[in-house]
Amino acid sequence: MSTHGPFATAINCMDGRVQLPVIEWLKNNYHVDYVDAITEPGPIKILAENHDMFTIESIKRRVSISTGTHGSKLIAIIGHYDCAGNPADKSTQIKQIADAIRLVRSWNSVISIIGLWVDEQWKVHPIEHS
């Protein structure tokens, strides 16, 4: 945990309810000072489907700035309850997060990538995956 630099990267929903919970969780659990925000409506759906190449390239470019110039060594990919951009149930979203992690992993094999779920009380839960 202490090997992470001052920056982490969050690929998060644009939803205003999930920004601060995710930032606080990453600061508390990974001891980073700043969280670079890459937001889209329902980004895990976009990444898991892997169809919208315009948006995916845009996300990829922003990730590379965060991991490059800012030296982020941790990327969090987030799904949440009541997502307007991705109205899928929790189990579907958990699977989308796993697929999204696989895609982002293919861009960068060195960086730690974690999945997070934000519940109906806006509490953040890490997702276990292999």
Provide the binding-site residues for Zn ion, judged by CB under 5 A.
13, 15, 83, 85
| Residue 52, helix vs strand vs coil | coil
CB of 10 to Zn ion, least distance (A): 13
- Shorter beta-carbon distance to Zn ion: residue 67 or 93: 93
Residue (5 or 85) nearer to Zn ion, CB: 85
User: Shortest approach of Zn ion to residue 80 CB, angstroms?
Assistant: 6
What is the DSSP code string of 63-127?
Answer: HHHHHTTT---EEEEEEETT-SS----HHHHHHHHHHHHHHHHHH-SSSEEEEEEE-TT--EEEE
Residue 82 Cβ vs Zn ion, minimum distance, rounded to whole Å: 8
